[in-house]
Structure 1
Amino acid sequence: MVVFGGRSGEHEVSLASARAITAALRKGGRHEVVPVGITRSGRWVHSGDPMRELESNHELLPDGSTLEISGPPAKAGEKLPANLGSVDVVFPVLHGPYGEDGTIQGMLELAGVPYVGSGVLGSAVGMDKITMKKVFAHHGLPQVDWVGLTRREWKNEPEAQVRKIEAALGYPCFVKPANLGSSVGIGKAEDAEELRTALEAAAGFDRRIIVEKGVDAREIEVSVLGNEAPDVSVPGEIFLQADGFYDYEAKYVEGGMELGVPAKIPAETADEVRRVARTAFEAVDAAGMARVDFFLERGTDRLLLNEINTIPGFTPTSVYAELWAASGLPYEDLLERLIALALERHG
């Protein structure tokens, strides 16, 4: 069963990943795939053609966002597919909240169904950037300086929070909702006015906010695959096609970024990237898959761990799959490994 769509801002990305995964799994009749879609309102679609229904269930707004325009609210008995217990394994392709954060993983644990990817703990820690960074700090992993705050703290004492961030981090800095993926809601601040604007925007997405010190750095990423003894791919480097930072458009709009693989970094740096990625994966108790993102500071070559993504974008041209292809593991074989890892973990 491939579950896709969902209530997060990464709904469209999920559809693209699910289309690619479903086509690859069905190729040559290797697997019987049961598609299950979740609309933006949380309604489960498991009859007819769920992909087509989700694709036709929204309209594109001028700012590029989407709005659901049809489909009744979920009714009792319509939420979960009745055949959930009869499938061999579930592949959740739900990026961001309500899918990558431990929610659906907890449901599948209760149902006793094997599923691809991290469990409840690894998913939840990987989703919440503040908790993730605290866990990384406990393991002594190098990170950029950061400050965490809540929406309540921002609303109640905005100027005090601005002064605290300025004293701890200075400018430029990056403001992020703590629990959104794919760079949704991120703002860059070069001064106090931009910082206030970015904090207000982030507070609209999440009750927890993280602010990180800006660094002049190359962006290096690796893919991790495994359970107890994970493998790590060759590193790749992200090249943006325009000035700015690695935001949602850079990741998902065609031509927004290019991946250089293998990354042109010294062998010892590549080894350290893989070591830290493996440690980060184990630190949050991840399983199955994850993409781990780094900064390599220009001028000092200081390696800084940015974050871990437990359900990364998953088309054949997504960074996660491309890094494994460059490491000798093609897309279809990668999917087979993930299914085997899910069954191994459940068993």
Structure 2
Amino acid sequence: MSNKLRVGILFGGKSAEHEVSLQSAKNVIDALDQDKYEVVLIGIDKQGSWLLNDTSQFLLNSQNPQLIKLNQSNDSVTLVPQGGGALTHLTTNQADTALDVVFPILHGPYGEDGTVQGLLKLAGVPFVGSGILGAAVGMDKEMMKRLLRDADLPVGPFLVFRAHQVNPNFADVAGKLGLPLFVKPANLGSSVGVNKVTNEEEFRHAVADAFQYDRKILVEAFIEGREIECSVLGNDDPIASVPGEVIATHEFYSYEAKYIDENGAALEIPAKVSAETARAVQDLAVKVFTTLGCEGLARVDFFLCPDGELVVNEVNTMPGFTSISMYPRLWEESGIPYAELIDRLIRLAIERFEREQRLKTTYQG
């Protein structure tokens, strides 16, 4: 009988960040210790189907981020409430051996926004990363910024518009936020649908583009500053990595700069900041993490302004795990290698699950 932990890797997803998830999954799978873990690959296609994949051929064009694709499988599976982590094959109604833990390497809606997290809780299986609340507020940039602002943590000026409202007026928005400004979907990451705006024509295009991906968009003031990022790890007592800096060679840190253009950005790890600033970044990163109810992992992104002020840009509750992603590289610099990082994340998932299982579900007055 095997003593290996059976780890389900959920990847792909019904999201504009589908391809990023494929890249992340490949790196996590390559890093998993095959002596410790039995890996079960569950690829989610863009229609939302869960497909059991073979580890030897689950991706097509895996070396090309522009052409990478999920290799479609005919074996559809699902997790069911109270199933204890057992995968059910939809064609045969047969159940597999239960998964011990799930690593949902999913970015964006239907994967990083609390949706999958709720299903996994109902299925009764431990999972890596934030729970429903932390994932949901971390994904929704409006809710995230409102919660941080209410906790007296520094966020930049922003406006919110919804698809059913009158289209935002450029003159009014520019009058409140100044120029340039940024337009982005409220519930997406990886800079998908994000545009920098300097005039009315660009603004109209940016609003239309952002509304393709979400029914709610944010318009944010431009903040002059260095882009500093910090990784956080833990449940009740989270720790922060050394800070890193993103130095974009594009106009801003766009999707192309992150995942397509190998020279799209330079990552300065650790960031060249004073020891005092580094501590301030780490302290603020942990405060953001706990304020939003995050668990397991998150990457917190800041602007370091010329006067030394830190402004929170956003939090990512399932940051990229590609070969060039900041989250694992910051921990590598902080003394936690990639494989050990994955081990810790899995342990944190199981620890949280076991802690929650001890809670009472019956009231005895």
Common fold: TM-score over 0.5: yes
Superposition pairs for residues 12-91 of structure 1, below 5 Å?
12-27=19-34, 29-46=35-52, 48-49=53-54, 52-53=57-58, 55=60, 78-80=77-79, 81-82=87-88, 86-91=98-103
Which runs of at least 4 in structure 1 moved beyond 6 Å after TM superposition? 65-72
Q: Retained in 2: the 8 A contact 1:39–1:54?
A: no
CA–CA distance in structure 2, aligned partners of residues 55 and 66 of structure 1: 6
User: Does residue 301 in structure 1 map to residue 308 in structure 2?
Assistant: yes
SS of corresponding position for 1:234: coil
Q: Is the 8 A contact 2:21 2:107 kept in 1?
A: yes
Any idea what the Cα deviations from partners look like across 1:87-112, whole Å, max 9, x if unmatched?
11100001111100001000000011
Is the partner of 2:315 in helix, strand or coil?
strand
What root-mean-square deviation, in Å, do the aligned CA atoms of Structure 1 and Structure 2 show? 2.3
CA–CA separation in structure 2 for the residues paired with 1:260 and 1:250: 15
Secondary structure class of the residue paired with 1:86: coil
| 1:328 CA displacement | 0.5
The whole-number CA distance in structure 2 between the counterparts of 1:139 and 1:248 is: 30
Residue by residue, what CA displacement relative to the aligned partner does 1:149-180 show, whole Å, maximum 9, x if unpaired? 11122xx3x3x532331121011000000001
Note the alpha carbon deviations across 1:280-325, whole angstroms, 9 max, x for none.
1001100000000000123x22211100000000134310000000
Q: 2: CA distance between counterparts of 1:54 and 1:128? A: 30
- Asked if 1:134 is matched to 2:146, the reply is yes
Q: 1:143 aligns to what?
A: 155
Separation in structure 2 between the aligned mates of residue 202 and residue 142 of structure 1, nearest angstrom:
25
Q: Which runs of 5+ in 1 are unaligned?
A: none
Gaps of 5+ in 2: 1-7, 80-86, 89-94, 355-365
Q: Which has the higher helix share?
A: 1
Is the 2:245–2:270 Cα contact (8 Å) retained in structure 1? Answer: yes
Mapped to 2, the partners of 1:280 and 1:85 lie a distance apart of: 38
Q: Which has the larger displacement, 117-126 or 254-263?
A: 254-263
Residue 8 of structure 1 aligns with which residue?
15
Kindly indicate whether the alpha-carbon contact (under 8 Å) linking 1:316 and 1:331 is maintained by their aligned counterparts in 2. Answer: no
Query: Do structure 1's residue 329 and structure 2's residue 341 form an aligned pair?
Result: no
TM-score by length of 2: 0.85
Q: How much does 1:203 deviate?
A: 1.2
CA gap 1:266/1:177 in 2 versus in 1, 3 angstroms: same
- Per-residue Cα deviation, 1:19-62 (whole angstroms, up to 9, x for no partner): 111122144x221111111111111111x5277355379x99xx
The residue correspondences of 1:61-210 to structure 2 (distance < 5 A) are 78-80=77-79, 81-82=87-88, 86-153=98-165, 156=166, 158=167, 161-210=169-218
Q: Spell out, residue by residue over 1:163-203, the C-alpha distance to the aligned partner (whole angstroms, 9 max, x if none).
A: 33112101100000000110000011101221111111111
CA change 1:14–1:192 in 2 (3 A) is same
- The amino acid across from 1:339 in the alignment is I
Aligned mate of 1:268, from 273, 276, 294? 276
**How many angstroms apart in 2 are the aligned matches of 1:287 and 1:211?**
28
Matched-pair contact (CA < 8 Å) for 1:106–1:120:
yes
Q: Which residue of 2 aligns with 1:244?
A: 251
Partner of 1:258: 266
Report the number of matched residues. 332
CA contact (8 A) 2:9 2:105 kept: yes
Q: Secondary structure at the match of 1:334?
A: helix
Counterpart code for 2:50: W
**How far 1:65 moved relative to its partner?**
7.8
- In the alignment, does 2:228 pair up with 1:220? yes
User: Is the CA contact 2:59–2:69 (under 8 Å) kept in the aligned structure 1?
Assistant: no
Q: 1:43 to 1:54 in 2, by over 3 A?
A: farther
Identity %: 47
Whole-angstrom distance in 2 between the partners of 1:55 and 1:214: 39
Corresponding letter in the other structure for 1:212: E
Does the 8 Å contact 1:102/1:121 carry over to 2?
yes
**Cα pair 1:175 1:199 within 8 Å, conserved:** yes
Distance in 2 (alpha carbons) for counterparts of 1:120 and 1:214: 31
Closer, same or farther: CA 68–91 of 1 in aligned 2, 3 Å: closer
